Amino acid sequence: MTFHNEGRVRRVEIRSDAPKDSDGRCGSHRGHEVLVQAGAGIGSAIEDEHYTAQGARIARDVAEVWGAAELVLKVKEPQPAEVVRLRAEQTLFTYLHLAAAPELTAGLRASGATCIAYETVEDARGRLPLLAPMSEVAGKIATQAGAFMLEKPLGGRGVLVGGVPGVAAATVLVIGGGVVGLNAALIAIGMQAEVFVFERSIDRMRELDLVFGGRASTVYSSTLSIEQMLPQADLVIGAVLIHGARAPHVITREQLGLMKSRAVLVDVSIDQGGCFETSRPTTHSDPTYQVDDVTHYCVTNMPGAVPITATYALTNATLPYVLELAERGVQGALATNAPLRLGVNVAGGEIVHPAVAEALSADLHTAGHDLERKP
């Protein structure tokens, strides 16, 4: 099978999704032809020569890679100029976040291609193995970025997260105690903040309590419990997720009035539409804006700030799926790999993921794909 990977055309994104295995070799060692868009790995300190040394071929331009590939690997969702190149016989494997992207969904449906979203590949325990590595990175960045934005020169309150002897530490609220939330909380604990993690799953709160060992508190997440804590918060990190669906709003515009002046909101869930009512997507080059004197940080691609860490973290997780798709073909891989099957969002012109269909109020179509939703 021929597959290719390319850097994306968005301004800040500089990772490549180079398929290298644990020996550092790419899929070409398994007899597949690997096309890499020229310069795709530069941001992650992987030169074109590193790919060619492992047997990959460098493609001069986007037209060449999209024209030749059967399996297209990316990091972020395809841009409009890429969607029009997608063909029915191709498989696209990348982050898609379609619940908040009706136009992209329409474009993918029109292509007829099989589009598998990293973020909805789900294992037998309901975990998201291809979202987890980016969530680990984003969770850790969320606290670092939030702490930075609390500094006065960055427009913040002028509060040191860890405090000093005689001066209290900052209060950090993490809403959503999944992979992002745990990692955000661990960094906040490391910075010696006062940390509260809001969750809905009692089982998850039991796990978190064990991990925290008394260094952070878990709180059942409700409108009331969040409202009670907001007046104390210096930094609030939003990290909720309902698989495949648009993020619920856990803080409304009205509730911003409960917060301290120049407190910071970091909305990690922005790629699923944002979990604060006042969130809108931002970029690393212009990451924040103010609403009602509260700083909002809503960067959609937080791991793009650390491309070397992020590239290896992502490809460590995606490579087994990539090799299975390449070796068995898309139908063969989907027939036997239940987690991968749950990753299919759009195929044959139809939406085949229930949560995506529900979020977009579209018809769900499963015929012909034999998608058993639960492994």
The site for ligand NAD (CB under 6 A) is made up of 119, 131, 134-135, 138, 175-181, 198-201, 204, 221, 239-242, 247-248, 250, 268-272, 300-303
280: CB partners within 8 A, 6+ apart: 274, 289, 296, 298
Q: Would residue 97 show up in a list of annotated catalytic residues for this protein? A: yes
∠ CA 243-249-251, nearest 5°, is 140
Q: How far is the CB of 195 from ligand NAD (least distance, A)?
A: 15
Among the options 17, 234, 267, 271, which is catalytic? 271
- The pairing of beta strand 114-117 with beta strand 217-220: unpaired
Q: How far is the CB of 138 from ligand NAD (least distance, A)?
A: 3
Q: Would residue 271 show up in a list of annotated catalytic residues for this protein? A: yes
Indicate the residue among 156 and 178 with the shorter CB distance to ligand NAD: 178
Indicate the residue among 40 and 314 with the shorter CB distance to ligand NAD: 314
Strand order in the sheet with 71-73: 57-59, 33-37, 2-5, 71-73, 91-94, 114-117, 344-347, 350-351
Indicate the residue among 156 and 177 with the shorter CB distance to ligand NAD: 177
Q: How far is the CB of 177 from ligand NAD (least distance, A)?
A: 5
Indicate the residue among 41 and 238 with the shorter CB distance to ligand NAD: 238
Indicate the residue among 70 and 122 with the shorter CB distance to ligand NAD: 122
- Residue 345: both structure tokens together: 């969002």
Among the options 97, 249, 296, 353, which is catalytic? 97
Residue spans of beta strands (DSSP E) within the chain: 2-5, 33-37, 57-59, 71-73, 91-94, 114-117, 171-175, 194-199, 217-220, 235-238, 264-267, 288-291, 294-297, 344-347, 350-351
Specify the amino acid at residue 190: G
Task: Return the closest-CA partner of residue 124 out of 350, 342, 362, 356.
Answer: 342
Residue with the closest Cβ to ligand NAD?
Answer: 178
Q: How far is the CB of 210 from ligand NAD (least distance, A)?
A: 15
320: CB partners within 8 A, 6+ apart: none
Indicate the residue among 272 and 288 with the shorter CB distance to ligand NAD: 272
Q: How far is the CB of 94 from ligand NAD (least distance, A)?
A: 13
Residue 76, CB-side half-sphere exposure with 13 Å CA sphere: 19
3-class SS of residue 121: coil
Q: Residue 263 to residues 159, 247, 294: CA-CA distances in angstroms?
A: 9, 22, 5
Q: How far is the CB of 181 from ligand NAD (least distance, A)?
A: 6
Query: Which residues are catalytic, by number?
Result: 97, 271
